[in-house]
Amino acid sequence: MNELKPIKEGKVREIYDNGDSLIMVATDRISCFDVILNNIVTKKGTVLTQMSKFWFDYTEDILPNHMISVDVNDMPEFFRQDRFNGNSMMVKKLQMLPIECIVRGYITGSGWASYKENGTVCGITLPEGLKESDKLPEPIYTPSTKAEIGDHDENISFERSIEVLEKIYPGKGEEYAAKLRDYTIALYKKCADYALSKGIIIADTKFEFGLDENGNIVVGDEMLTPDSSRFWPLEGYEAGHSQPSFDKQFARDWLKANEGHNWTLPQDIVDKTIAKYLEAYEKLTGKQL
């Protein structure tokens, strides 16, 4: 069996070249504040991969996606090891578009900070009198782009997203920018309505899109996971303060409260973190992992 090496390794994910496809592996690593922690969060990678699969299947009527299979038997022999089972996805190769497509249905986080300052979020003026965690009258599209210097994404206006795309795809900038916005809102609305019926509020999320070999726009990357989205429990939701969430919040809160942690979490915090991921998956899909 050939030992394969990832062609790209992120904080949490590894990408392998498989000829005409890629294999994306979500590891059980966890990162907070852009640092990979020393802990392994068992099953976290499986939750991310299986949740993306669930949403890809659910939204095929709106837009195709890059998923080919999550069955390791469809992949090279190297991936038929326990450590790849459940957390690996074979996907089509896409030419990724350089826009992070963020949609916000509720006001929170950096959006709330900006609104308090000047009544806008990413240059979009919002109604007066909103409280923290309020539902917005309509979801808003706030794209960002990878900054050239450093790794922080940079919020941009819709107009600027046209310019960025036009530079790479002359004559297509306006068409692609409008499609990204419209697909982002449509995907969010369908999935947020579904999640609400299962007791979960999707406050905001990020999609990434690419072009397939025929130049069609396709959903890529991961989709509506606790790593790319803010999920809040519907039970107990009330505007006016921040909300508990189904993600790394336990880990982040503990790290903030404990100095000298050396980027290592106690096991009970790891257990609480994965319990949140699993609870979100089970509520949304009705299945257990």
In the predicted model, what is the mean pLDDT of the chain? 95
* Residues 222, 52: Cα–Cα separation, whole Å: 6
Model confidence, pTM? 0.94
Alpha carbon distances (Å) from 36 to 1, 95, 106, 253: 30, 28, 29, 16
pLDDT tens digits, one per residue of 248-264: 888 999 999 999 999 99
**Count of C-beta atoms within a 10 Å radius of residue 270:** 21
- Asked whether 30 and 37 are in contact (CB, 8 A), the reply is yes
pLDDT tens digits, one per residue of 127-182: 999 999 999 999 999 999 875 545 667 899 999 999 999 999 999 999 999 999 99
Q: Which of 251, 134, 151, 147 is nearest to 204 (CA)?
A: 134
According to DSSP, residue 134 is labeled P
Residue 113 pLDDT exceeds 90 = yes
Measured on CA atoms in the order 220, 225, 230, 231, is the torsion positive or negative? Answer: positive
Domains within the chain, CATH numbers bracketed: 95-233 (3.30.470.20)
* pLDDT confidence tier of residue 33, bands split at 50, 70 and 90: confident
